[in-house]
Amino acid sequence: MEDIRSLKRRHLIYYLDVFNNKNNELLGKLVDITTRGIKLVSRLPVPIDKDYSLRLTFPEGYFRSRDLTFDARSIWSSNDINPDFYDTGFEVINLDREGRKIIRRLIELVGFNDSNSHVSVS
């Protein structure tokens, strides 16, 4: 099946913590992001086809708030290149305008500088 992606994934220079907002459990580290999806790396597999309330924690001093809470659905999971870890892809659900703005700003501030990349406004 062909992978159709409308937004280029952006890798960050920091692996930010992502928590399950319902129980404050660390789900994993954010490794790439768009306004429509995220990819986490974690020590334990994350169940797929499940909705989550996620909380992304920012480095201190970047934004007024230290975190962003949003809903997402786990849509795929596989072993990481390192067999001790798992990768999980999430589709972001119902991210409001302010949340999209914060993610775009996060990419600008801590994303790898890729001259071929383009982040479209969605």
For residue range 57-84, what is the model confidence (pLDDT) as tens digits? 887 777 788 899 999 999 999 999 999 9
Q: What is the mean pLDDT of the chain?
A: 80
3-state helix, strand, coil in the chain (%, to 5): 10, 45, 45
For residue range 98-113, what is the model confidence (pLDDT) as tens digits? 999 988 887 777 664 4
Q: Provide the pLDDT confidence category of residue 14 given band limits of 50, 70 and 90.
A: low
Domain boundaries, the chain: 10-110
CA 36, 104, 28, 79 torsion-angle sign = positive
Give the pair of three-digit tokens for residue 92.
């972001």
pTM exceeds 0.85 for this model: no
Q: How far apart are CA 43 and CA 69, in angstroms?
A: 22
pLDDT surpasses 90 at 10:
no
| Percent of residues, the chain, with pLDDT higher than 70 | 77
> What torsion, rounded to 10 degrees, do the Cα atoms 108, 109, 113, 114 define?
-30
At the top level of CATH, the class of 10-110 is mainly beta
